[in-house]
Amino acid sequence: MKIKKFYINTIGCQMNVYDSEQIAECLRRIGFVMETRVEKADLVIVNTCSIREKAEQKAFSFLGRLAKMKREKPHLMVGVCGCVAQQEGQKIIERMPHVDFVLGTQAIERLPAAIEKIEKQGCRIVDVDMTREIQETAGMPTPGKAHEVSRFVTIMRGCDNYCTYCVVPYVRGRETSRDPERIINEIKRLVKNGVREITLLGQNVNSYGQKQGLCDFPTLLKQIDDVEGLSRLRFTTSHPKDLSDDLIAAFQSMAKLCHHIHLPVQSGSNDILARMNRRYTREKYLEMVVNLRKTCPEIAITSDIIVGFPGESRADFEQTKALIKQVEFDSLFAFIYSDRPNAPSARFKGKITEKEKKERLQEVFDLQAGITQKIHARMKGTLQEVLVEGVSKKETRENQERALDAVQWTGRTSGNKIVNFIQNSVSCVDTGIQVGEMVRVRIEKTFPHSLWGGVVTCDSGHSLAKGEESYAA
């Protein structure tokens, strides 16, 4: 019997990555095996994102290239999943006749049935039906890959905020939270399989449980913090309007909660924030930053910025730049505004020219680069606790053939900064560096997007003692 192989091209955010893991698990259950080369696959799935026009174009470009492959391999099955699938539905089939199925964001658990029907009947399927409840059949974790240290776990889906630029409520539905017991059980299984760091996912994790009367988000964090064998806990994304005092306090009280928060501000102008329907002000956001740093002085704060929103004047943009300077974010994800289907802002007047948007985006990049450089410079000479994720991607075969103490490793700090490091001859002499353990690294060099250093000690579970030289980031 011929082994059927699948290939998944994931485009988009962490939620898409998690969904692709669930898709892969569904396929494994019906006898498929993963293939890393698209040309060798019997089934190719594009898991799409529609949050920005560029991501949508990338998905259609890849799908277009599959048409030639299908002419050469008539048995090839092509599927589209994710947000673009939910958004466009039947239109994808009409536009691209070589596509066999289109499954929306809430149809993952129905994938095996869809494939069986296509194989038996030779038909094409579009399934973009939405449900009120989260289906858990596709949510069970797969055994971690060899040496897999970090994994995503979705705790909720959808969004009720309806920011005027965003399509998430339309393509992922209304906000629904998973049962906390199911979340905890999933994390325990992952930890049992060797995972040491969990990142909780949701469009707005801060509002977890509120609609269904479940425990609130800080309480869920505490339950996860107590999971034996787990080393680190992260979460994203955090909507500022729902950032509670209890959640801020968690950065001080919970041992495993990383000292990092992604808190998207989007704009520094109150007028633009109101047009975006963000439901907080510039002043309120800055107050949150002060409270976070008062509670956890070493916390790393990152954010999102949208430039060129309809009606954004030069004065509005200057307010955004001023906020960036005042906060001094550790890093930023900045994007050019683009109209999205169904989003109210697509109908707003006062559109900014593409030229102006690109110029503003570059100004943000240049400003943030200087801030990040300054933050990284302060970290030189400090000790950082790093979770070892594996051999650095930059590690060459030549380096791999050297003695163990010359191998270049990589990991992240509590503040989510990438650290590349070597095991020197005086550290870890007994066991060597192990994937998934904590090591203390002295930072020797800093770069725009990473840090470099040498291991001082290897000691799984070791935390920096009070008074030790450190700068968490």
Residues 14-61 pLDDT 10s: 889 999 999 999 999 999 999 999 999 999 999 999 888 888 999 999
Beta bridge partners of 79: 45, 101
Helices 180-192/217-225 angle, 10° precision:
30
- The pLDDT assigned to 337 comes to 97
Domain 4-127 has CATH 3.40.50.300: no
Residue range(s) of every CATH 2.40.50.140 domain in the chain: 383-458
Q: What is the CA radius of gyration of the chain?
A: 23
Cα separation, 271 vs 325, in Å, equals 19
Structure tokens at 470: 């450190």
In sequence order, which residues have a C-beta less than 8 Å from that of residue 387 and are 6 or more positions away? 149, 150, 196, 197, 231, 232, 411, 412, 436, 437, 438
Is residue 462 over pLDDT 50? no
Q: Are 106 and 173 in contact (CB under 8 A)?
A: yes
Handedness of CA 172, 174, 177, 182 (dihedral sign): negative
Structure tokens at 230: 């787990």
* Cis bond before residue 48 (omega within 30° of 0): no
Q: Are 172 and 159 in contact (CB under 8 A)?
A: yes
pLDDT, average across residues 287-304: 98
- The pLDDT assigned to 246 comes to 97
Q: What is the DSSP letter of 257?
A: B
- The pLDDT assigned to 302 comes to 98
- The pLDDT assigned to 403 comes to 46
Comparing C-alpha atoms, which of 245, 157, 171 is closest to residue 205? Answer: 157
Is residue 461 over pLDDT 60? no
Comparing C-alpha atoms, which of 392, 444, 389 is closest to residue 412? Answer: 389
Q: By 3-state DSSP, what share of the chain in percent is helix, strand and coil, each rounded to 5?
A: 40, 20, 40
Residues 112-163 pLDDT 10s: 999 999 999 999 999 999 877 776 654 455 544 556 899 999 999 999 999 9
Residue showing tokens 């699948």: 6
Residues 311-345 pLDDT 10s: 999 999 999 999 999 999 999 999 999 999 889 99
Is residue 13 over pLDDT 90? no
- The pLDDT assigned to 147 comes to 62
pLDDT, average across residues 406-419: 92
Residue 422 binned pLDDT confidence (cut-offs 50, 70, 90): confident
- The pLDDT assigned to 344 comes to 97
- The pLDDT assigned to 406 comes to 60
Residue range(s) of every CATH 3.40.50.12160 domain in the chain: 4-127
- The pLDDT assigned to 145 comes to 54
Average pLDDT, the chain: 90
pLDDT, average across residues 249-254: 97
- Name the E strands within 205-276: 232-236, 260-262
CB atoms within 10 A of CB 469: 9
Q: Are 99 and 63 in contact (CB under 8 A)?
A: yes
- The pLDDT assigned to 391 comes to 87
383-458: CATH homologous superfamily?
A: Nucleic acid-binding proteins (2.40.50.140)
Is residue 350 over pLDDT 70? yes
Is residue 286 over pLDDT 60? yes
- The pLDDT assigned to 14 comes to 87
3-state secondary structure of 93: helix
Element (H, E) at 57: helix 53-72
